[in-house]
Amino acid sequence: MTVTDRRRTLALLGAALVATPVLLGVAYAAASAIGITGIGATGFSLTRLAHVLGERTVWRSVAWSIWVAGAATLLAVAAAACAAIIFGGRSVIDRTARALAIAPLAVPYVVAGALGLLILGQSGYLARLAYAWGWIASPNNMPALVYDTRGIGVILTLAWKEFPFLALVAFSLIAARGVALEETAHTLGAGRWATLSRVTWPLLWRGLLPAATAVFIFSMGNYEAAALLAPSDPLPLPMLTLERYFALDLSQRADAYVLTLAGLLIGLAAVGVHEWTRQHAELFDQ
């Protein structure tokens, strides 16, 4: 075995080691989902699986979580792209704006959720400002953003939470690429809007695609912000999973494992969509 071969093997082993807990978890969840193992397991059976997949509640949860994560991701991507386009320069204002944009980068989800409640809640700060400006007369007039079936509060909160990360990626994309391509577009006759729509934006969204996929997956799997802001019907997928896991009826624990696998599958599907888009959007690496 050459040195290169040994290093290669070690590297692949290391990677496998990191993934082991996930693989173990998936294997255990899969085994539990089909009744091979776990509390109250009675041997191989597809009844729990079929039961869970036949529940309307479950599908509502899945759809709701995809809607919320998707909307939050799109909102954050749009905001990050705007910030990068508007504040891509080198002046003091540009640099200040960029620093402000990424300042909340490491705010934990639970804090984001708490802020969402304090600001967007029925008697939150937004409602108070609306009252002060005379838009509403009482908290009841405030459109429900929190605990609301459309999930506006969760969407806004997650978008705010994920915006700094996407902005950071967008800023570095623009800084790394420089302005030469835009200059080329200008001298070839493209005005501001043409350059923006034909050069800057297409390159930006392609560059943001991996980060946006990650953000979608994080938002899908997030528990704490959802638990603080989401309605009880439909219940976000992570909450439904945990509810079944901690249910007094131990037979429901198998449901939790099915839902766990469902969550992982949606994540995988997001990665698949990302790969497909990458292939079909001609994401040419230079």
Partner 1 sequence: MDAAACGALRPVNSRAKSRFADVDAVARYFGLTALTISAIGPLVLLVLWSASGEWFFPALMPQRWSPDGWGWLFQSGDRVAVAVRNSVLLGIADGFIGCAIAFPIGRAISRLTGWRRYMAAAAVFSPVAAPPIALGIGIQYFLLRIGVGGTAVGVLLAHLVPTVGYLSLYFLSVFVVFDSKIEDEARTLGATSRQVLFYVTLPMMRRQVTEAVAIGFLISWAQYALTLTVGGGTVHTLPLEVFSYMRAGSGNFAASAALVMIVPPILALAAARYAAGRTVVSPV
Partner 2 sequence: MRHDGTSETVPGRPTALRLRDVSADFGDEAGLRDVSFDVANAERFVIVGPSGAGKTTLLRAIAGLIPVTRGTVEIAGHDRTHLVPERRDAVYLHQTPLLFPHLDVFENVAFPLRVRGVAAAEIRSRVASVLDSVQLGAFATRPPHALSGGQRHRVALARAIVARPAVLLLDEPLSSLDPSLRVDVREVILGAAREYRLALVIVTHDLDDAALMGDRIGVLLEGRLKQVATPATLFAHPASLSIARLLAIPNEVRGVIEGERAFSSPLNEMPLISNSQNGSAIMVFRPDAVQIMPESADTAQCTGEIVEIRHRPQQTTVRVRVATRLGTIMIEAAIDAMSVPAIGTIVGLSIDARRVSVFADS
Interface residues with partner 2 (CB under 8 A)? 180-181, 183-191, 194, 198-199, 202-203, 206, 281-286
Question: Is residue 21 left, alpha or beta, with left meaning phi > 0 and alpha meaning psi from -120 to 50?
Answer: alpha
As a residue count, the chain comes to 286
Residue 216 contact, options partner 1, partner 2, none, Cβ 5-8 Å cut-off depending on partner type: none
Neighbour-count burial of 212, counting CB atoms closer than 10 A to its CB (0-12 exposed, 13-18 middle, 19+ buried): buried
What minimum distance in Å lies between the beta carbon of 160 and partner 1? 7
What minimum distance in Å lies between the beta carbon of 279 and partner 2? 12
Nearest Cα to 89, choosing from 205, 167, 171?
A: 171
Residue 115 contact, options partner 2, partner 1, none, Cβ 5-8 Å cut-off depending on partner type: partner 1
What minimum distance in Å lies between the beta carbon of 190 and partner 2? 4
Cβ count near 134 (within 10 Å):
7
Residue 97 contact, options partner 1, partner 2, none, Cβ 5-8 Å cut-off depending on partner type: partner 1
- The residue (of 55 and 183) whose beta carbon lies closer to partner 2 is 183
- The residue (of 82 and 188) whose beta carbon lies closer to partner 2 is 188
Report d(CA 28, CA 37) in Å as an integer: 8
Residue 133 contact, options partner 2, partner 1, none, Cβ 5-8 Å cut-off depending on partner type: none
Residue 248 contact, options partner 2, partner 1, none, Cβ 5-8 Å cut-off depending on partner type: none
The pair of three-digit structure tokens given for residue 146, joined into one six-digit string: 């929190």
The dihedral of CA 233, 235, 241, 246: what is its sign?
negative
- The residue (of 44 and 284) whose beta carbon lies closer to partner 2 is 284
